[in-house]
Amino acid sequence: MDARSGTNIIAAYVKTLPAKPGVYRMIDNHGELLYIGKAKHLKKRVTAYTKYGRHPIRIQRMIRATKTMEFVVTDSETEALLLEASLIKRLKPRYNILLRDDKSFPYILMRTDHPAAQLMKHRGKRNKKGQYYGPFASAGAVNRTIDTLQRAFRLRTCSDSVYAGRSRPCMLHQIKRCAGPCTGEISISDYAQLNRDASDFLSGRSQILQKRLQTRMQSAAKALQFEEAADIRDRIRAMAFVRTGKTHIAPKTFAEADIAAIHREGENQEGGQACIQVFFFRAGQNWGANAYYPRHAKDQDTADILDAFLAQFYTGKPIPKQLFVNVDLPNKALLETALCERRGKAFRIYRPKRGEKFDLVELARRNAREALARKLAETASQNRLLSGLADALDLPDIPERIEVYDNSHIQGTNSVGAFIVAGGEGFLRREYRTFNIKDTRTKPGDDFAMMREVMQRRFSRLLKEDGLVWPDLVLIDGGKGQLSAVSGVLEEIGALERTTLVAIAKGPDRNAGRETFHMIGRPEFTLPARTPVLYYLQRLRDEAHRFAIGTHRAKRKKQMHTNPLDAIEGIGPSRKKALLSWFGSAKAVAGAAVEDLAKVEGISKKLAENIHDHFNE
């Protein structure tokens, strides 16, 4: 690839760029997004890419691959930073530092749209009325806190329907985990006080609450109400457990902050993988920690990695009052301004040098170091497998992303296609996908047609949408026929040259270890028995089969629970309820005469005929 072609293309854009802040995108000749960047001065920033020889090899490769660019002008550099972080997180360009394994955090929700507030775990949009507390690092941290809050404040966790249907206290009341407002074991006004106590505790007013409870405990003891005093004592102990948790970290010098510490192994060696450990502190309590492993280039600076990570991390997440880090961020002032605007309140970033905050940052860094050591040990064997796989299949490079496809059906019914994803980190289960077979021309049980439809839909989307990651290797469960069918589809839509296809045919009598492999332009071949690469390919195929058949069974089970009346046009919930109330079951409806069907309220003579015809074709 000629270096001048990329620099000339970029230089042509420079002539028309304004001297304003904004965001730019670099795109290759396949339409794949290479890089997203921000700039305080678009013209100056993009001009730097025309100085080809001044850049490291990685950036030179990106410049050579650039065939087109897109630009968005913003009102400020702060707006450019936020837009850049949002686009990187959504589109995942190849040359950017990427936050991986990102997910929404769970919260504790105190529902206030019911006289007796419900305590529950919540993840996703905040569309329920109530008070939200979080974020917590994991669902396990939420579950442990809810369990302890039940012991401390005895708030209900049951649904409204269960609450309304109770005639006597449930087991949770018997073991002193619920106050029992459903059956009047506690008045609504007293229950509301428990709710206020829990809100005070989760909002950081635990010291005031504890003093109030201690006063009540002493008063109860003086009045010889020892059972009530013991009950309050147990609540105080439970509150102490929530504050300290399993890590026994309860900060004394701040109440609300996040801690983000980065550790990098082999920074001056090849690789230099980084891990970022994030601690969450809210209301003076430790609400857990998470480890992240951002994708980055070998030559990127550690501080730049953390800087880019934080901009993406707080996209769509609650922002605390302050953030403590273990390195000096190059864009600290800009990031502070951007996150302050997004939060709507003051926000500061600190790098503590001493005291409790420094100790906690150092603890986070040590956790990052240990987490990274574990991950590197786990991935070392995986990398050896992938290297062996590349040698066995004569691949030009070690595959970073492998997709394995399979179909599942029973005599053509409930047909589904599916693929799994694997790479250097093992199975990437969050990226597994399924396909309901939609083509009405597909004959029941036609595996070739099913695989063609799945491949056409999957790779058409890859060609159409920016930011999706292409597989380096595609494995198909099948033989020469499946390979021919799939390659024909990919060649037709122009995707065949962008990946490597391999079909895995089962051995004679379906014996594992005697599989035959088919590739385009290469005679069929086998791999030596009992080798790690062969076992790995068998694991990939079996995982795809497990996922496909599991999806098929779930679809079949769902269909079994579907009422036959749902398939009749004109039968909605009200008419279905009326028919079932009149006849007792769907089977009785199916055997009823037109005259009997027409006797049901809401069922006309014409609709009765349609129902009868549906079951008596």
Q: How does the average pLDDT of the chain come out, rounded? A: 84
Domain that holds residue 84: 3-91
Does residue 389 lie within any of the structural domains? no
Quick one: what percent of the chain has pLDDT higher than 70? 90
Residues 418, 549, single domain; the answer is yes
The one-letter amino acid at 580: L
- Domain membership of residue 308 (yes or no) is yes
What is residue 336's predicted lDDT score, i.e. its pLDDT?
93
Which runs of E-coded beta strand occur in 174-299? 257-264, 274-282, 285-292
Task: Decide if 536 is inside a domain.
Answer: yes
Residue 547: CATH number of its domain: 3.30.420.340
Question: Is 13 a domain residue?
Answer: yes
What is the predicted pLDDT for the residue at 269?
A: 43
pLDDT tens digits along 290-328: 888 898 888 888 999 999 999 999 887 888 999 999 999
The answer as to whether 386 is a domain residue is no
The model's confidence at residue 586, banded by pLDDT at 50, 70 and 90, is confident
Q: Which residue bears the tokens 């492999």?
A: 517
Residues 544 and 574 in one domain: no
Domain CATH number, residue 78? 3.40.1440.10
Co-location of 470 and 447 in the same domain: yes
Q: Is residue 215 located within the same domain as residue 264? A: no
Beta strands in 506-596 (DSSP E): 516-519, 522-525
Q: What is the pLDDT of residue 467?
A: 65
Distance CA 39, CA 446 (A): 53
The C-alpha torsion from 64 through 67 and 72 to 77, rounded to 10°, is 0
Averaged over 331-353, what is the pLDDT? Answer: 92
Determine which of 166-175, 248-257, 559-568 has the lowest per-residue pLDDT on average. Answer: 559-568
Mean pLDDT of all residues in 598-614? 88
pLDDT category of residue 261 using cuts at 50, 70 and 90:
very high
In a domain, 384, yes or no: no
Residue 482 pLDDT > 90: no
361 with 491, same domain: the answer is no
pTM, rounded to two decimals: 0.61
Q: Which CATH number do you get for residue 352?
A: 3.30.420
Question: What is the Cα–Cα distance from 191 to 180, expressed in whole angstroms?
Answer: 9
Residues 57 and 183 both lie in one domain: no
- Is 504 found in the same domain as 582? no
If asked whether residues 236 and 269 sit together in one domain, one would say no
Give pLDDT tens digits for 182-200: 999 999 998 998 888 888 8
Q: How many domains does the chain have?
A: 5
> H/E element holding 295?
none
User: Between 258 and 316, whose confidence is greater?
Assistant: 258
